[in-house]
Structure formats: structure tokens, C-alpha cells
Amino acid sequence: MTHPTCAACAEPAVYLDRAAGEHLCADHLTARVEATFRATLRGPGGLSGGERVAVAFSGGKDSSVLLHLLASLAAPELGLALVAVTVDEGIAGYRDETIAWARTLADRLGVEHRVIGFEEACGSDLDVLVRGREGRACTVCGVLRRRLLQQAAHELGADRLATGHCLDDEAESVVMNWLRGDLYRVAGARPTGGESMVPRTKPLARLPEKEVVSYALLHDLAPELPECPYAHHALRSGIRGLVHRAERQSPGTLARIVAGQSELEGRLRGLLPPADFSTCPDCGEPVLGGPCRACTLLGGALEKH
């Protein structure tokens, strides 16, 4: 059997873009990922230059690629000051190795790196917080991690919080919002945070995870790391299976879901009656009545900032 060659040159292919039906070699895949990253970063919701950017850096493949691209391409081109922030949720048998890798990569890229622990910020590790209700681990983890990243970005004086969400994550979020019946999120009409909220930017949001992972493998950004023991509990893991099956059957589905959501938001803007948002009495975040989810989970242990 002959090995497929790159659609753009005669080199051996390392990647198949099923939606476009074309193979790419290592150099052309690298060039494509970097071009999409640059275009997204300079597009709506991106960066204009000179910002201090906090980077949500779990140490997984997506955030490792994000930090690498920001440090090696965007920082010199746009004059950015980067600080990588890793949240240590306190998950036995999982976090120590990923944090060790996160420290190694941040050091290799010359990026300032902070690690924030659930234990110091919330009073307990995730393992303790979810003991006896492990099925809720990802919900608790996600709510608290997002809050701690926001707090850290604010305290570090960041103008933006960059996250490693890729196209697959974006498509899964669209489907999750539909399945939860969250009309305000479907319409893109939820307030995204209080006064101290640092706006997010998602420079990988137009890249399929397959391209991000292939880039990580080609650029020494994907060491063997353990998987989180709670991962199979996540609602998202079921949704992921669903959208990936659809993508396999009909390549391009992920991009169509995200494009459709963006068009829907544009058409629904201003049509939804205003929701009765108030502020959380403990931390000041906007909520639909009562304390916010993070304060409810922690009994008000998070600080107001």
C-alpha cells in the first residue's frame, strides 16, 4: 500500500482532514494550525496587542499547545506579557504528574507560572469535597476551577484570560446548553461575570481537537499523563461521544454546530425578555436568584474581590 502524500507538497502525510478530504505533512499541518491560531487571535474576541494575558494551563494537550503558541508566536508578535495559571484540584493519582509537566513546559517556554490549590483557596481538595458523591465531581470541579482562574487572572492584573477550548469543546457546549434547556445560554444572553470578571479569549476555538493533538505530538507537547479518575462521570463525556460519532459519520459537523450557534445568537440577540439577574450575596457574581453555584458549593468560603 502506498503511503498518502501531502495535498500541498510531495512529503509523506501525517494527518487526514476528513472534512476537506486532504492529507497534510507535518510542515503543512503545523502551518495550518499556526495560521488558524493567528487568525482567531486577531479576530473578534481576540487580542489587539500589549495585553497582560493569564493563561489557563492545566498541563493537558490543549492548554500545552495554547501556551506554546502564545509564548512562541503571539507574545513576540503582539508584545504580550504571559502568566500561566494551573489549578491543583487535589485529585490523588492524577494531578501531581500533570503539574510536574506544567512546571517543566512553563520553564522551557520562559513563562511565569502560578499554581493555585483547591485546598488553600476553597478549604478542601476536590477528593474531599466530593467524597460519597463522586458522580458530581466534574460539576463541582468545573464551577470552582472557573472561579479560581477568574480570581487569579483578576489578582494578577490580567487584561484577558486565555483558555484552551478547541472546536470540539465549543460544539459540545452548544449541544449541552440545548440538552439542559438553558435558553439564555442558547441565545448567548447570559451575563458572563461580575465587575471583576476578566474577559476570556479562546485562541484555539476554530481548531478541531484532532489538529491540536497532532500538533502537540509533532512539537513535543504531549507526554504520557494519567487520566483524571472522575472523567467518565462528566455529562460532557457522553456529549463528546455523541458529537464525535456525528463528526465521523458526517465530517464537518463540529464546525457546522458552532457556525449555526453563532448565527442563532445573532438572530436571537435582543429578542429574549431580560432575565431577572441579581448578584450573589456572598461574592457579588451575577446569578438568577440566591447565592451563585460556587458559593453554594462552598458555603460562602470564596472571597469577594
The vertex-32 CA angle with 31 and 35, nearest 5°, equals 85
Q: Using CB under 6 A, which of 70, 228, 258, 302 touches ligand SF4?
A: 228
| Identity of the residue, 40 or 64, whose beta carbon is nearer to ligand SF4 in the bound complex | 64
Contacting ligand SF4 within 62-101 (CB under 6 A)? 89
234 near ligand SF4, rule: CB under 6 A: yes
Of 148 and 228, which CB lies nearer to ligand SF4 in the complex structure? 228
Long-range contacts of 298-303 (CB under 8 A, 24+ apart): 298/122, 298/123, 298/144, 301/122, 301/123, 302/121, 302/122, 302/147, 302/151, 303/151
Task: Locate the DSSP E strands across the chain.
Answer: 15-17, 22-24, 52-56, 81-88, 112-117, 160-162, 200-201, 278-279, 286-287
Interacting residues of 241 by C-beta distance below 8 A, sequence separation 6+:
none
- 187 CB-side CA count, 13 A: 16
- Shortest Cβ distance from residue 52 to ligand SF4 (Å)? 26
CB 147 within 8 A of CB 118: no
Taking the complex as a whole, how short is the minimal distance between the CB of residue 233 and ligand SF4, in angstroms? 7
Interacting positions 141-170 with ligand SF4 (CB under 6 A): 141-142
Closer to ligand SF4 by Cβ: residue 114 or 256:
114
Q: How far is the CB of 132 from ligand SF4 (least distance, A)?
A: 15
Q: To the nearest whole angstrom, how small is the minimum distance from the Cβ of residue 284 to ligand SF4?
A: 25
Comparison of 234 and 246: residue with beta carbon closer to ligand SF4: 234
Cell of 15: 494527518
Total binding residues for ligand SF4 by CB under 6 A?
9
Complex with ligand SF4: residue 26 or 65, whichever CB lies closer: 65
Task: Give whichever of 95 and 113 is closer to ligand SF4, judged by the CB atom.
Answer: 95
Q: Which stretch binds ligand SF4 (CB under 6 A): 30-38, 103-111, 178-186, 224-232?
A: 224-232
Residue 80 carries which side chain, given as an amino acid letter? L
Nearer to ligand SF4, 29 or 126 (CB): 126
Using CB under 6 A as the binding rule, whether residue 118 contacts ligand SF4 is answered as no
Smallest separation (angstroms) from ligand SF4 to the CB of 134: 9
DSSP helix, strand, coil percent of the chain (3-state; round to 5): 50, 10, 40
How many other CB atoms sit within 10 Å of the CB of residue 112? 13
Instruction: State how far the Cα of 87 lies from the Cα of 90, in Å rounded to an integer.
Output: 9
CA distances from 294 to 100, 153, 283, 297 (A): 27, 17, 9, 5
Determine how β-strand 81-88 pairs with β-strand 22-24: unpaired
Stretch that binds ligand SF4, among 26-34, 62-70, 136-144, 180-188 (CB under 6 A): 136-144
Tell me if 231 contacts ligand SF4 by CB under 6 A: yes
**By CB under 6 A, is residue 35 in contact with ligand SF4?**
no
| Residues of this chain that bind ligand SF4 (CB under 6 A) | 89, 137-138, 141-142, 228, 230-231, 234
